[in-house]
Structure 1
Amino acid sequence: MQKRFLLILLISTSVFSHAQYKVNFTEKFKKANQGKYKIEINEVKELVQIMIAITASGLENDDMVEQKGTYYQDVIQHFKPFANEKIIQTFDSLLVESIYNYIFLTGNGISYDFKGNKLVKNNIFDFPATTISKIKITENPISTYKTAIEEFARKSNFRAFYKKHKPYYATIVSTYEKNANLGKQWKWLEKNFKTTQNSYTIFCSPLINSLNYTGDFENNNFKLIYMVLPPVDKLENLSARENELLNTRVMFTEIDHNYVKAPTLANQEAVNEYFKDRKKWTNEAIEGVSAYPNPVKVFDEYMTYAVFVLYCKDTYDEKDFQETKQSVISLMKERGFPKMQEFTDKLLKTRSEHPDKKIDDIYPEFLKQFVQ
């Protein structure tokens, strides 16, 4: 299938960091979510995912839209007859203009809920996706196209489709809860880092493929970490434990961006000095490396995966740990990070010498090992 671009972008924490005032964490919301996590296939967000899937851009790009499986076939059979609707053409033009519009559209889906056939503003998420890197929008696109989106949902009978597939969505949620160990990861991270979080939400869709990212919202002394992820994989050629490790890695290396961020910034001067030789630390021939344009971004990508290796060492037996370590090293090399072996070994060594310290506190000694 022809691909216009490869979506392997893992956007760092605080994707929408300039939008914190666009959420409203009420006391009721805080009480209901403190110390908890949830996995959600949001109705309006799923509508937007489906609309994107039937655009010309979505149909020709199986990195942007997951095109395998029965659910995708159901989507195409049900909704492709409406692909010539004006709003679908508009969405396609936005995607052609910039791939970031995929995030602005789907990311703001959570700012509305259905009430009958109408979209009404969500009282918690007002305008959650305003800024990605240095790109900023000033109007919520769901608000801009609200009437046309409502009309598309009505014409295509979307709400009936969503209701029919609720049992399938429920299996996605339950599989996450059984196989991805979010609670265990959260507990380990807060034991090993100084950063703490109040709550987590995973926004999932069966139509998400390679574009996975994490960010945070902070309001009214409450911090919510969110992740946008595909469903948990269950590959037939892997054992149950291997599938668990694969799915844990996908989630963990998104979550821990939110913990690595603070100590990296606290040691930014050293990171910039020791990781300034980009040719050493990245393979520019690999597509996607450009998403990590400076030493801090490069270091953090190494660090998030190396911390996952630490987690595996603490959590699994020696065989699983060693196999996972080698798979991470191979994966990172394929992604354009050729020094993962050296980086991981240095972190493991530093951690073994200071097993009772927070990872934040071993940063200075760890970084000194990279002095030329």
Structure 2
Amino acid sequence: MRVRTVFFLLIISGFMGSCVRNDDTPLVKAYFSEDYISEHKGRYVIEVPKVYELAHVVMAVKFQRQRSDYFIEKRTSYFQEVLDYFNDYNSSRIFSNYSYSESDYIENYAFRDNSYAYKMVNEEISLKETYTSISQYDIFKDFLDDVQAFSYESNFNDFYTAHAGFYENQIALYDAIIPVQDMWDWLENQFSARYDCYKIIISPLTGGSHSTRRFKTDTYKETLMFVPALNPEIHSMDTLNIAYNIRHVFTEIDHNYVNPVTEEFRDELKKAMGDLNNWKDEKPSNTVYSSHYMVFNEYMTWAVYDIYISERYPEHIASQIREITISKMEGDRGFIRFRSFEDSLIQIYTNKSPGENIEDLYPEILKAI
């Protein structure tokens, strides 16, 4: 049995709801000490990390007038507090040098997610001892000097410290609402992959952009999920909306179980799916899904979420969630065959033999598509 532990890291001493995980590139390296493993093994962690929040502040100021809320959640009073405080420093060189728009998906992910590999000690930003980077393409490193200068100029540390209570409340709310341990246990009953620690990295500024990364050594496996926080100003906490908000983290967690299985069936998958144009309409936000492997994983992770909801919630809630999922996948995200794919998967899952799990069903799933 895993022990649930929630850490709040101040790190002073030390549109669509899509998800991104590029398994076509090698995993970057991480170094886990014996003390680190002892502290984290068997636990999940929910964090609002300092440098990660600083990266969000940079993006919030930079993108404040853009209409998209893909990377930055702009409907909260916290967002307005960020602008009220940091707009006085918008002449800092980071805002002229960081020339991307909010629609530059790959670059913004590479800036935001890689900021998690950094810590702030006595207001100095440096690489953590644990990670070399979070992804291969570390844009945050390219702008590190500019981000550091902005942090000094704006006294970001003061702002972050003043909001410590708010971040603690965000973590507590997330932990109370989202059944992380139950999702962990359920997925490890459905798949053979095992993880020693879940890290759930949230920010009150994260919009619809979610992503996940995983790291492993011979003795320890860790998965990171970058997802939005919950905010009562914009999120209703009734049963339907709780089930809906579970999706943000579930469809990141289950990439770490689905993707390794899909990897074993790459050749069969390509033959089964055929022309990718029959599986997605091209949209700006789904251009990153450029292979059969990546498109199939999006179909699978969201369909597995619907199966999980169907086993945890009453039928009337599960059916509403399923229609929301289908609408988002087919309409918003352009994955145009999702309903038929999920119909087939649900039928196969419902008729599975005793003792079979989702991983066992892959050959039959591929035959059906």
**Where on the TM-score scale, by shorter chain, does this alignment land: which range?**
0.7 to 0.9
Aligned partner of 1:113 in structure 2 is 119
C-alpha separation in 2, matches of 1:277 and 1:162 = 49
- Measured on the aligned residues, the alpha-carbon RMSD in Å equals 2.5
Cα contact 2:43–2:196 (8 A) shared by 1: yes
Other structure's SS at 1:20 match = coil
Give the number of the structure whose residues are more often helix, by fraction: 1
Q: Does 1:10 find its partner at 2:8? A: no
Other structure's SS at 1:344 match = helix
C-alpha separation in 2, matches of 1:200 and 1:216 = 9
Cα contact 2:51–2:115 (8 A) shared by 1: yes
Q: Does 1:29 find its partner at 2:36? A: yes
Aligned partner of 1:359 in structure 2 is 358
Aligned partner of 1:88 in structure 2 is 95
The offset of 1:306, in angstroms, is 1.1
C-alpha separation in 2, matches of 1:225 and 1:62 = 28
The offset of 1:118, in angstroms, is 2.2
Q: Does 1:122 find its partner at 2:128? A: yes
In the alignment, which of 220, 224, 227 is matched to residue 225 of structure 2? 227
The offset of 1:194, in angstroms, is 0.9
Structure 1 residues 289 and 94 mapped into 2: Cα distance closer, same or farther (>3 Å)?
closer
The offset of 1:106, in angstroms, is 2.2
The offset of 1:233, in angstroms, is 5.2
Other structure's SS at 2:209 match = coil
Residue-by-residue CA offset, 1:127-174 (whole Å, 9 max, x unaligned): 33323xxxxx5xx744x5545433322221211110111111111111
Other structure's SS at 2:230 match = coil
Structure 1 residues 104 and 360 mapped into 2: Cα distance closer, same or farther (>3 Å)?
same
Instruction: Give the partner amino acid of 2:60.
Output: A
Aligned partner of 2:28 in structure 1 is 20
Cα contact 1:202–1:229 (8 A) shared by 2: yes
User: Which range is displaced more, 289-298 or 245-254?
Assistant: 289-298
Q: TM-score, normalised by structure 1?
A: 0.86
Residue-by-residue CA offset, 1:302-325 (whole Å, 9 max, x unaligned): 111111121122222222222222
Aligned partner of 1:134 in structure 2 is none
C-alpha separation in 2, matches of 1:358 and 1:200 = 22
Instruction: Give the partner amino acid of 1:356.
Output: G
In the alignment, which of 298, 316, 319 is matched to residue 319 of structure 1? 316
The offset of 1:327, in angstroms, is 2.2
Other structure's SS at 2:252 match = helix
User: Which range is displaced more, 122-131 or 23-32?
Assistant: 122-131
Cα contact 2:51–2:116 (8 A) shared by 1: yes
User: Which range is displaced more, 162-171 or 289-298?
Assistant: 289-298
Cα contact 2:66–2:102 (8 A) shared by 1: no
The offset of 1:75, in angstroms, is 0.7
Cα contact 1:14–1:216 (8 A) shared by 2: no
The offset of 1:340, in angstroms, is 2.0
Instruction: Give the partner amino acid of 2:161.
Output: K
C-alpha separation in 1, matches of 2:274 and 2:231 = 36
Aligned partner of 1:75 in structure 2 is 82
Aligned partner of 2:10 in structure 1 is none
Aligned partner of 2:3 in structure 1 is none
The offset of 1:99, in angstroms, is 4.2
Aligned partner of 2:251 in structure 1 is 253
C-alpha separation in 2, matches of 1:154 and 1:272 = 51
Cα contact 2:204–2:230 (8 A) shared by 1: no
Instruction: Give the partner amino acid of 1:169.
Output: Y
Instruction: Give the partner amino acid of 2:317.
Output: D
The answer for unaligned runs of 5 or more in structure 2 is 1-14
C-alpha separation in 1, matches of 2:233 and 2:280 = 30
Aligned partner of 1:305 in structure 2 is 302
Instruction: Give the partner amino acid of 1:305.
Output: W
Cα contact 2:262–2:297 (8 A) shared by 1: yes
User: Which range is displaced more, 105-114 or 36-45?
Assistant: 105-114
Other structure's SS at 1:227 match = strand
Instruction: Give the partner amino acid of 2:334.
Output: G
The offset of 1:96, in angstroms, is 8.7
Work out the number of aligned pairs and report it: 352
The answer for unaligned runs of 5 or more in structure 1 is 1-5, 132-136
The offset of 1:13, in angstroms, is 5.5
Q: Does 1:289 find its partner at 2:286? A: yes
Other structure's SS at 1:170 match = helix
The offset of 1:117, in angstroms, is 2.8
The offset of 1:107, in angstroms, is 2.3
User: Which range is displaced more, 95-104 or 301-310?
Assistant: 95-104
Aligned partner of 1:202 in structure 2 is 200
The offset of 1:273, in angstroms, is 1.3
Instruction: Give the partner amino acid of 1:152.
Output: F
C-alpha separation in 2, matches of 1:74 and 1:206 = 12
Residue-by-residue CA offset, 1:329-370 (whole Å, 9 max, x unaligned): 222221212222221121111112225212111111222223
Cα contact 2:330–2:336 (8 A) shared by 1: yes
Instruction: Give the partner amino acid of 1:304.
Output: T
Other structure's SS at 1:54 match = helix
C-alpha separation in 1, matches of 2:256 and 2:155 = 39
